[in-house]
Chain A
């Protein structure tokens, strides 16, 4: 057993459900991911021992110019293709190129992969790849003793060490005692591998991340053909660069195979996921696909009005690639115009969408209020990030819940939907579109930076499984006298008719001034305003949403942990840990935050203690307390990073313990 396996077992049953039996996965080239560089050469580990692990957490860290996100993405793709379950956490600075070699410039990518179902990118890495002293220094505190560290010794110069405040070389002064250190001159080896490539030294050096990727791919038996194909595609117009990267990648693989420093390689069997066809998907990609799917299922053309903002821009990028689906993307002059155009398109019968992050929502608030008043379908996608103001643009947070709920003038209720995992962003987009179109209302879709950039395997749905969305456009006058009243509502949904320009006989004018019930004419009548305010609220309150499900296997739990959004992964992992150690805790997770599921009050009241972990200062807890008069206890963190499973498990144990203590009093 290596130390790595020990670590893995130390948290056994923590993040998995214990179901790590044989694998049913078939994945291309899984049996022998031999490096394609050397046909006929022995498979990795052929000459070296192979150890089986059930899960591994790897963190790639380097300068923001070192290509760590790309390296992580590629390793993730290899891992997905291999059939492991996985979860990722990219973590990078807001600056495109922070000063080289500094702590603020460190960019990292963490990947947790396993032979069983996992929920988080992992609390602590088993392996750290540190491309420079800054990467080592910034990430070392997160490593448990015994972790493997692979460093690029070429970057450990006096100057580089001084830049991050290392008084002595940590590779030799005992700092890393207790870790399993691999000193690898990554830059030198890469340059050596590319000496015949004809590339300038500076260009050749840039391939060192691929060398590192090759080495890690060897260590963990990853299939390599995908990365080679990817590199050829990415550098199609610069074949010399493509070949250099591939050479570096292969050299890294060979280095692992031949050097004595790496004595063993590891095998993590594919995971036994539910049957189906899978792919890896990030939250933003899933969300973009969900929007396209919603457009197809509703028959409405998709119109995105957006202004670039981190971490939402990838949705704009993605949708702009799919014009052959009839998708229109409009990069506006500002956030306000982005939502304005989306609302204008919605008036014309499109599925109008705007994508943004917290500060952008603030700018869009007035238009969201207009959409509430016009009662037109509109999706407002908020990929939350650290706030207030510019805050932490590349870090995650869920502190926009109250902004989504209340951040407008007047009584302006807006439904709120929040996905729990990256893959669930797909379903959330469909759900948000369903509510928007059915009830003629703007809808908030609250994702966050962690979901947006994190990825996981996704069982690709059959198109036929996806919900249909019926826009039910108005086509006829709705009054006996042949008139059309734009605010004559459906008695069940309270939705008003959606009559789009081009429909003869239904010409009408709507606006942000209060409207008379029914006719939609301007009205300043006090009783009418009171009625309209209450009706708009009743419409949102009456939206049909699925009941919240409670996971309480024994039915004896006294503590309920309730979350929303991206805390699902760490909360569920924590719940598994507690249960594995004999604790009883019930878990529920909200996907609809406005309106709440009808059974939520009853669920909350059936537990003695309700714990609500949030990456804010207690926004959901505030809503629960206000609405249900329950003593929901907040547990908060606003560090720009997701919770760790161990941390939440402690919180749950403390809650269980406090009830036990009360019993003994």
Chain B
């Protein structure tokens, strides 16, 4: 692992700020009175994922991270759809809804847009978010509701026992595709960036520190955050991300993005990402000649073009050159905030609604 991976993702909001770092997206959420621990977020429910599932690591990372938010447990809500990952809310000692397949972003949108004093998290999977719920996902992203969406991507359908998913590689042999799957997969990050997402990041189940750093950045972000978490399904798609995890391959395979830093990867950070004359991104060994031309990662760039290019730099077959970290993190109006401000403006302009006046309208007559 390179030295750079030890550093957390840069915190944009904390630059030069000596005050206690807050989470701007949670400023209306009541603060916890006492420090919390991971244990506070565990429930008495028996966790029912398969032994060895990547979901355990993610659950532990999330439970370990939540105290950092410093908000009251009762003001935190986890909403999920259907699938293995969607059992997640049962294991979080917060409020939670385990809903129906694909609809968690819609349900969470209603909750977050009506209750700005809540920290709302959506837990979903590649089938839930990208197949049956694809429409809700893209619209949540474009609306920019204050939601944090954790998309567990294991590139397979687990709960229905092993059919290919919309992120499975072309030609995937599964129970439903014995001769290989025929449809090209989605790239979730490209999709999210195309859907006007204001925050897009990727992390890996097994890298707890990186995972938590991405959660932190997502929690700081105002608006919808999409965090893709590569998650191993050891039953139906074991080792899907092994190349990103194994000591022998990961340095070459992973590109760890850090805002404001030149993008380098590989053993001794010998390789880098450059922009070619045609605007395309490419990777090459870093030399004294080209070092100055290394692409510097700008997660806050107004244009999504470079983030989109980064989302597609990985080799789809080998996963080599897979970027992880925050690809995009920009500010734009937050739906629930706008909704609230219209309510406030309406009251300012017309005064609080009076039911009797409303019912009477302007044309009435009286019968004695």
Contact A226–B355 (Cβ < 8 Å): no
How far apart are the CA atoms of A461 and B356 in the complex, in Å?
Answer: 8
Within the complex, the shortest CB–CB distance from A307 to chain B, in Å, comes to: 11
B-side contacts of A511, CB under 8 Å: 89-90, 96-99
Instruction: Type the 1/0 row for A271-315, where 1 means its CB is closer than 8 Å to any CB of B.
Output: 011111111100000000100110010000101010000000000
A97 in contact (CB, < 8 A)? no
Question: In chain B between 318 and 333, which residues have their CB closer than 8 angstroms to a CB of chain A?
Answer: none
Within the complex, the shortest CB–CB distance from B77 to chain A, in Å, comes to: 5
Please choose the segment from B15-23, B114-122, B237-245 that sits at the chain A interface, where 4 or more of its residues have CB less than 8 A away. Answer: B114-122
Contact B113–A323 (Cβ < 8 Å): no
Give the total of B residues in contact with A, Cβ under 8 Å: 62
B-side contacts of A546, CB under 8 Å: none
Please choose the segment from A192-200, A496-504, A596-604, A614-622 that sits at the chain B interface, where 4 or more of its residues have CB less than 8 A away. Answer: A496-504
The one of B95, B103, B136, B364 in contact with A501, judged by C-beta atoms closer than 8 angstroms, is: B95
Of B43, B72, B74, most buried by chain A (CB within 10 Å of CB) is B74
Closest to B111 in A: A344
A36 in contact (CB, < 8 A)? no
A-side contacts of B97, CB under 8 Å: 344, 347, 374, 509-511
Within the complex, the shortest CB–CB distance from A64 to chain B, in Å, comes to: 26
The one of A280, A305, A501, A522 in contact with B77, judged by C-beta atoms closer than 8 angstroms, is: A501
Using known A-B contacts A324-B346, A350-B114, determine if residue A460 contacts B103 with beta carbons closer than 8 Å: no
The one of A275, A328, A462, A503 in contact with B343, judged by C-beta atoms closer than 8 angstroms, is: A328
B106 in contact (CB, < 8 A)? yes
B1 in contact (CB, < 8 A)? no
B107 in contact (CB, < 8 A)? yes
Contact A333–B135 (Cβ < 8 Å): yes
A-side contacts of B43, CB under 8 Å: 509
Contact B99–A341 (Cβ < 8 Å): no
A-side contacts of B356, CB under 8 Å: 462-463
Contact A277–B360 (Cβ < 8 Å): yes
Closest to A506 in B: B74
Instruction: Type the 1/0 row for B58-102, where 1 means its CB is closer than 8 Å to any CB of A.
Output: 000000000000001111111100000000011011111111100
B45 in contact (CB, < 8 A)? yes
Closest to B114 in A: A345
A512 in contact (CB, < 8 A)? yes
B361 in contact (CB, < 8 A)? yes
B-side contacts of A513, CB under 8 Å: 98
Main secondary structure of the interface of A (DSSP, over half): mixed
How far apart are the CA atoms of A296 and B339 in the complex, in Å?
Answer: 20
Using known A-B contacts A507-B94, A510-B96, determine if residue A272 contacts B110 with beta carbons closer than 8 Å: no
How far apart are the CA atoms of A343 and B30 in the complex, in Å?
Answer: 23
Within the complex, the shortest CB–CB distance from B29 to chain A, in Å, comes to: 9
A-side contacts of B112, CB under 8 Å: 344
Q: How many A-B contacts at CB < 8 Å in the complex?
A: 221
The one of A272, A280, A301 in contact with B363, judged by C-beta atoms closer than 8 angstroms, is: A280
How far apart are the CA atoms of A280 and B362 in the complex, in Å?
Answer: 10
Contact A509–B363 (Cβ < 8 Å): no
Within the complex, the shortest CB–CB distance from A85 to chain B, in Å, comes to: 10
B359 in contact (CB, < 8 A)? yes
The one of A272, A463, A509 in contact with B355, judged by C-beta atoms closer than 8 angstroms, is: A463
Using known A-B contacts A277-B364, A460-B359, A509-B96, determine if residue A323 contacts B343 with beta carbons closer than 8 Å: yes
- Residues on B lying within 8 angstroms of A by beta carbon are 30, 43, 45, 72-79, 89-90, 92-100, 103, 105-115, 117-118, 135-136, 139, 339, 342-343, 345-347, 349-353, 355-356, 358-361, 363-368
Q: List 21 A-B contacts (CB under 8 A).
A: A25-B368, A81-B363, A83-B367, A279-B363, A292-B358, A293-B359, A324-B346, A324-B347, A324-B350, A324-B353, A336-B103, A343-B107, A348-B110, A348-B118, A350-B110, A370-B100, A501-B115, A507-B93, A510-B96, A510-B97, A511-B98
- Residues on A lying within 8 angstroms of B by beta carbon are 24-28, 77, 80-83, 226, 272-280, 289, 292-293, 296, 301, 303, 305, 322-328, 330, 332-334, 336-337, 340-350, 352, 366-367, 369-370, 374, 460-463, 501-513, 521-522
